[in-house]
Amino acid sequence: MAVAATPAPARRLPPWAQAVLGQALALGLALALAALVGGVIIGLYHESPLAVYATIWRFSTERPSDIGRVLENATPLIYSALAVAVAFKAGMFNIGVEGQYLVGMVTAAATAVTFDSLPAPVLLPLVVLAAMAGSMIWAAIPAVLKVKTGAHEVVTTIMLNGVAISLLAWAILHPLRTSDTGLVDLRTDVFPEAAMFPTIAHTFGLEKQLPDSVYLTWLFPLALLACVLVWFLLFRSRLGYEVRAVGSSAGSAQAGGISIGATQIKIFLISGALAGFVGLNQLLGDKGFLGSNYEAGLGFAGITVAFLGRNHPAGIAVAAVLIGMLKRGQDALALETSIPIEILIILQGVLILSVVVAYEIVNRRIARRRQQEVRAEETALEGGG
């Protein structure tokens, strides 16, 4: 009597492929939800949503200079979001990136005007190290307070943001104020050329494609490199394992022999070092001095980018470019539509909510599917037994 052949089990994707597919589906669903809700809001202004989206896309990608401006906008956001993300992986909220990069700008400016006679190969790295050192010192304050006294980092970092703003104002008013008495603006002396980051256009002779008004410097490739290094730190190093363990369950991590306080201080210092790069593009790529008209809010924007990127370095890079496109879209809306540019802030909020909803839906679906697979395997084993 012939025995029926047992059907071969269905081939399943490996866990990493399922995770990547799930992330891609969640991202696509989030963008679709955001476009749909945003379209309804745009329609209330009697504008075509498709036309508005097409205008933003065209202003961001039509010419090489447009792409350059988008990447210029994305550069500080990548550093800021990485600074937020590494702290978040340890279960901490570094709301103080805003103040940390302001202090980093002060220390960088002080170094640039003090050692202005040094050659570029020495002065530029020295200025960058000064920015990192200033930001790390400012980040160390809430880290030590949390470990030693239990003071919550959200409260201390928010308070230190205000102190950093006042510190910067004092610095450009007194010790770092320009020696040019004919100027009424509060700013430092102009930095020497040796302290400035070279632009990608000048390096590769692309001045026609990327004019001088586009400040796309080598800080952008360094930002991508920082994403790779942060990924390696978090997912391929012992410290990264300890950080994720502390962030997942501090009690279990401590029971496993991990020093929670030491790990928190280390990761907060790394977060501060990354924050030191946030203001460098405007300082050493654009203006060439530190003035009262510096670009603020980049630290808080980094929270948005980190959230959109799911606190993963690869997602952060994509999210930063997306926010950079929306920022570039301000010019598009002002020139070609009657929609107020504040609508872009609403669209960012809609996108964040869409990410929350989409990832929750996809994650629940993946979890339900895995439970079904486990039950199927258990049933197969019981039947075979």
User: Which one, of 225, 199, 228, lies nearest residue 214 by Cα?
Assistant: 199
Per-residue pLDDT band for 9 (boundaries 50, 70, 90) equals low
Per-residue pLDDT band for 172 (boundaries 50, 70, 90) equals very high
- Domain borders along the chain are 79-319
What gap in Å lies between CA 270 and CA 215, rounded to an integer? 26
Give yes or no for residue 346 having a pLDDT over 50: yes
- Return the pLDDT at 1: 47
Q: Would residue 63 be called left, alpha or beta, if left means φ above 0 and alpha means ψ between -120 and 50 degrees? A: beta
Q: What is the mean pLDDT of the chain?
A: 90
225-259, pLDDT tens digit by residue? 999 999 999 999 999 999 999 999 999 999 999 99
User: Which one, of 43, 107, 71, 140, lies nearest residue 277 by Cα?
Assistant: 107
Are 49 and 241 a contacting pair, CB within 8 Å? no
H-run or E-run covering 99: helix 97-114
- Return the pLDDT at 376: 80
Lowest-confidence segment of 57-66, 261-270, 311-320, 359-368 by average pLDDT: 359-368
Buried/exposed code over 81-90 (b: 16+ C-beta within 10 A; e: otherwise): bbbbbbbbbb
Whole-Å CA distances, 374 to 10, 183, 358, 378: 14, 72, 24, 6
290 SS3 class: coil
- Return the pLDDT at 26: 82
Q: Give the residue ranges of DSSP H helices in 237-342.
A: 238-248, 250-255, 260-275, 280, 298-308, 313-336
Lowest-confidence segment of 140-144, 329-333, 381-385 by average pLDDT: 381-385
Mean pLDDT, rounded, for 352-368: 83
Per-residue pLDDT band for 15 (boundaries 50, 70, 90) equals low
Give yes or no for residue 180 having a pLDDT over 90: no
Are 84 and 303 a contacting pair, CB within 8 Å? yes
Per-residue pLDDT band for 287 (boundaries 50, 70, 90) equals confident
Percent with pLDDT over 70 in the chain = 95
- Return the pLDDT at 379: 82
Are 97 and 83 a contacting pair, CB within 8 Å? yes
Lowest-confidence segment of 1-15, 93-107, 170-184, 238-252 by average pLDDT: 1-15
What gap in Å lies between CA 25 and CA 344, rounded to an integer? 24
Q: 219-236 and 260-275 helices cross at what angle (nearest 10)?
A: 170
What gap in Å lies between CA 41 and CA 333, rounded to an integer? 14
Are 289 and 188 a contacting pair, CB within 8 Å? yes
φ, ψ of residue 276 to 5 degrees: the values are -60, -20
Percent with pLDDT over 90 in the chain = 65
- Return the pLDDT at 16: 67
Q: In 3-state terms, the chain is what percent helix, strand and coil (to 5)?
A: 75, 0, 25
Q: Is the dihedral of CA 59, 62, 65, 66 positive or negative?
A: positive
Q: Is the dihedral of CA 70, 72, 76, 81 positive or negative?
A: positive
Torsion, Cα of 112, 113, 116, 122 (10° steps): -20
- Return the pLDDT at 179: 86
φ, ψ of residue 361 to 5 degrees: the values are -60, -50
- Return the pLDDT at 314: 92
User: Which one, of 284, 303, 283, lies nearest residue 294 by Cα?
Assistant: 283
pTM attached to this predicted model: 0.91
Looking up tokens 């320009």 gives 178
Give yes or no for residue 112 having a pLDDT over 80: yes
Q: Any idea how long the chain is?
A: 385
Looking up tokens 């059907």 gives 7
Contacts 24+ apart (CB under 8 A), 349-356: 350/34, 350/37, 350/38, 350/41, 351/30, 351/31, 351/34, 351/38, 351/308, 351/322, 352/304, 352/307, 352/308, 354/29, 354/30, 354/31, 354/33, 354/34, 354/37, 355/26, 355/30, 355/307, 355/308, 355/310
The DSSP secondary structure of 143-193, one letter per residue, reads HHHHHHH---HHHHHHHHHHHHHHHHHHHHHTTT--S-TT--S-B-PPPPG
Per-residue pLDDT band for 11 (boundaries 50, 70, 90) equals low
